């Protein structure tokens, strides 16, 4: 059954525009770990346009220069240390005002997403991660990664399957992961004509990407764009 599902997903990808990462692809990533943290935390259960506005407001407030660069190319340099973001985030109410967003990690008992982002930053800095290159080193060190993930999982809003954390790793440059949010889950549910869970979504997208010859991130992104265009009609 799993093999049949994978084949069905591979066939469905023929209707997607899968763009490979590179200098001319138009695909870009954040040039600052602080913006990756904000994106990862604020994107859960939110429209992405609002997430971009959150990142823009923070970048404007602290005067960040180049904010994005082509995915698949070398980092341009001049990155803001995450420790600086942690200092700016010392007052969560002030940070929420700067970001123009008082969204919470959960409508019932959740904390401000600004507070969750602040906690993420502090935990990463406490584990010696101050720049994107530092996080990239953690991602290839299983022992350090396990400790960092355990700490970050304690921040409210982690979720049963750690989608937020997986998304942070993707934003930081991990092309092997996917963000099985409602866009991906709904696309797979439509393809397979049944409900879809996060663990299975991860398996199917990763397996299909390997067969197609792209990265899981590239396939995830293509699905997301397709669903966004579809829901906008």
- The residue with tokens 């969560």 is 92
Q: What percent of the chain has pLDDT over 70?
A: 99
Distance of alpha carbon 179 from alpha carbon 202, whole angstroms? 8
Tens digit of each residue's pLDDT (9 = 90 or more) over 1-19: 899 999 999 999 999 999 9
- Supply the pLDDT for residue 107: 85
- Supply the pLDDT for residue 231: 77
Domain 28-171 has CATH 1.25.40: no
- Supply the pLDDT for residue 233: 62
User: Phi-psi bin for 63: left (phi > 0), alpha (psi -120 to 50), beta?
Assistant: left
Tens digit of each residue's pLDDT (9 = 90 or more) over 187-211: 999 999 999 999 999 999 999 999 9
- Supply the pLDDT for residue 230: 83
Distance of alpha carbon 133 from alpha carbon 78, whole angstroms? 12
- Supply the pLDDT for residue 12: 97
Give the start-to-end residue ranges of the domains of the chain: 2-21+179-232, 28-171
Model pTM?
0.90
For residues 106-130, average pLDDT: 93
Tens digit of each residue's pLDDT (9 = 90 or more) over 161-194: 889 999 999 999 899 889 989 999 999 999 999 9
The DSSP line for 71-103 is TTS---S-PPPHHHHHHHTTSHHHHHHHHT---
Distance of alpha carbon 68 from alpha carbon 75, whole angstroms? 9
CA-based nearest residue to 136, from 180, 168, 164, 162: 168
């Amino acid at each position: 059954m799993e093999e049949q599902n994978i084949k069905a997903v591979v066939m469905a990808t023929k209707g997607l525009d899968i763009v490979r990462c590179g200098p001319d692809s138009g695909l870009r990533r954040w040039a600052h770990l602080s913006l990756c943290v904000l994106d990862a935390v604020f994107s859960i259960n939110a429209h992405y346009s609002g997430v971009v506005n959150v990142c823009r407001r923070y970048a404007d407030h602290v005067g960040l220069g180049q904010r994005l660069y082509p995915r698949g190319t070398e980092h341009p340099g001049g990155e803001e240390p995450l420790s600086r973001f942690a200092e700016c985030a010392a007052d969560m109410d002030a940070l929420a005002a700067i970001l123009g967003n008082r969204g919470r990690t959960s409508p019932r008992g959740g904390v401000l997403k600004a507070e969750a982002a602040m906690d993420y930053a502090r935990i990463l800095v406490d584990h010696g991660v101050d720049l994107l290159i530092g996080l990239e080193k953690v991602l290839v060190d299983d022992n350090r990664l396990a400790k960092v993930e355990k700490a970050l999982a304690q921040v409210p809003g982690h979720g049963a399957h750690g989608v937020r954390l997986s998304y942070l790793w993707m934003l930081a440059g991990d092309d092997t992961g996917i963000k099985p949010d409602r866009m991906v889950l709904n696309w797979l549910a439509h393809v397979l004509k049944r409900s879809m869970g996060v663990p299975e979504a991860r398996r199917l997208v990763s397996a299909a990407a390997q067969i197609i010859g792209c990265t899981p991130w590239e396939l995830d992104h293509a699905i997301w764009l397709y669903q966004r265009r579809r829901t906008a009609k």
